[in-house]
Amino acid sequence: MPSVHSVSYSILRQQGLDIVFGNPGSNELPFLKDFPEDFRYVLGLHEGVVVGMADGYALASGKSVLVNLHAAAGTGNAMGALTNAWYSHSPLVITAGQQARSMIGVESMLANVDAPSLPRPLVKWSYEPSCPEDVPRALSQAIHMASLPARGPVYLSIPHDDWQCEVGEEASLLPPRDVHHAGAPSDTQIDALAEHLDQADNPVLVLGPEVDAERANALAIELAERLCMEVWIAPSASRCPFPNRHACFRGVLPAAISGISEQLAGHDLILVIGAPVFRYHQYAPGRYLPDGAHLIHVTSDAQEAARAPMGNALVGDIRAVLEALLPKLAQSDRTMPDPLPIPSPANSGEIGRLSPESVFDVLNDRVPDDVIYVKESTSTVTAFWQRVEMRHPGSYFFPAAGGLGFGLPAAVGVQLASPDRRVIAVIGDGSANYAISALWSAARYNVPVIFIILKNETYGALRWFSKMLDAESAPGIDVPGLDFCALARGYGVEANHVETRQKFEEALSQALDASCPMLIEVPTTTIEP
């Protein structure tokens, strides 16, 4: 009779989950015993780093990824990173080791009491099988649940003595199972959407991360050009769904109720595709919509559609919606928008610390056309979008929930999933410390990420908020005295400290020519988000 262990690995192999991101404890060793040669294990030194790497891998590859965590404490360590994965719709299949079944009730050491409750509400589904024979079926369900729309992480707690148990022959039915989503819109729904767009005098398009995740970028460009629409990126942008130097591009919407209404004033129809309506951050109450505006929301996430405070929604496959919609629309006779002006180059003869704008100008001039940016410098978001051109799908990743600790590990995962593209991580010095041990994984597996640390010795975004909230005297805002070159070298990553634009250009060229991870520490000024 086959074992839970052998059938589970057959399921993982058949479903394409042959890379495991993990940090093992004693509860996980029975799963990892006799680890198959055709699988790959990627070790992170902290569970937050493990989930961050898996998140980056899932975002860049578009595939489900297996994560192996350790019981309650390990799962708890991963919760911050799990918040980002939840809001980025990353299909993570998270397995966590559990104590032996006979030891759970007495709350022995490393028992995860009420395990399914622990990761909620940051997972689509959470479960602990009631018996060993149910483990393979539950694993199969978890894999399919993670990848069905709206995608997202799932959690499975597995007692460590289950792996050696035998299962019936019927378990052989599980590995080849396929579960497909068929969410095409009806002709009636598409006709109604096309009619709304045809009748609008001044429609505007707002795009979210799901457009990039579904590689529907080209369809969004065609829609904008067909109707000569201005295009905004939804607030709190975690991906780049539209080329930011296109004539229709207007920028990223502010994450504030009143700010969005101000930017969209004058438009009578707001079409939002692949984003929540909306991810607010700054408390700036006001009208949800400008006067005379109507909103239509297209998303695969029923929860996003249901919780929106305004507008009508169509829940379905956004790529299918766009493919069906475009043939229904005639070319508009409206004038195409004028492209936004490109900011003037930053002063190349700066004295003292470099400005982030100067760093971004160098990046834009020197890196490959298809580079992928993983960014976690929250105080420089606006400057980055203005100065760094992004034209290809899958070119930009930012923490979807704003949870710090995303950037370093996610960059490692993105590079593992995208070996044919260069990955550059632009990280603030405050953010970097949340997951600094990701540098060890980059060095251990020779993942050639270029890590650029913008070192302004403060939490830049928090410094800005302290001014807004009249709390500049609050403690804990500054982080002086960090030596990222020493930290990087300690983890096995080559590092350079640079203080001038010329030295940064030289260090960047060296890193681009290298086939190993490298870190560049750049002291910079502090700017507003």
Which of 104, 103, 100, 168 is closest to 133 using CA atoms?
168
Contact predicate 65/91, CB 8 Å: yes
Annotated catalytic residue, options 16, 26, 130, 509 = 26
Told to judge if 47 belongs to the known catalytic residues of this protein, a careful annotator would answer yes
Contact predicate 239/390, CB 8 Å: no
Told to judge if 430 belongs to the known catalytic residues of this protein, a careful annotator would answer no
Annotated catalytic residue, options 28, 214, 357, 521 = 28
Angle at 392 between CA 391 and CA 397, to 5 degrees: 95
Contact predicate 494/516, CB 8 Å: yes
Peptide bond before residue 150 is cis, with ω within 30 degrees of 0: yes
Told to judge if 28 belongs to the known catalytic residues of this protein, a careful annotator would answer yes
Annotated catalytic residue, options 181, 196, 246, 281 = 281
Contact predicate 304/272, CB 8 Å: no
The interaxial angle of helices 217-227 and 318-325, nearest 10 deg, is 40
Told to judge if 460 belongs to the known catalytic residues of this protein, a careful annotator would answer no
Told to judge if 70 belongs to the known catalytic residues of this protein, a careful annotator would answer yes
Distance CA 506, CA 500 (A): 10
Told to judge if 89 belongs to the known catalytic residues of this protein, a careful annotator would answer no
Annotated catalytic residue, options 5, 10, 22, 47 = 47
Annotated catalytic residue, options 70, 89, 144, 267 = 70
Contact predicate 123/115, CB 8 Å: no
Annotated catalytic residue, options 52, 56, 208, 402 = 402
SS3 state at 458: strand
Q: Which two tokens stand for residue 286?
A: 């006001």
Contact predicate 398/237, CB 8 Å: yes
Told to judge if 402 belongs to the known catalytic residues of this protein, a careful annotator would answer yes
Task: Outline where DSSP puts E strands in 88-130.
Answer: 92-98, 126-127
| Amino acid at the residue 445 | Y
Backbone CA torsion sign across 8, 12, 13, 15: positive
Backbone CA torsion sign across 337, 338, 339, 340: negative
By annotation, the residues acting in catalysis are: 25-26, 28, 47, 70, 281, 402
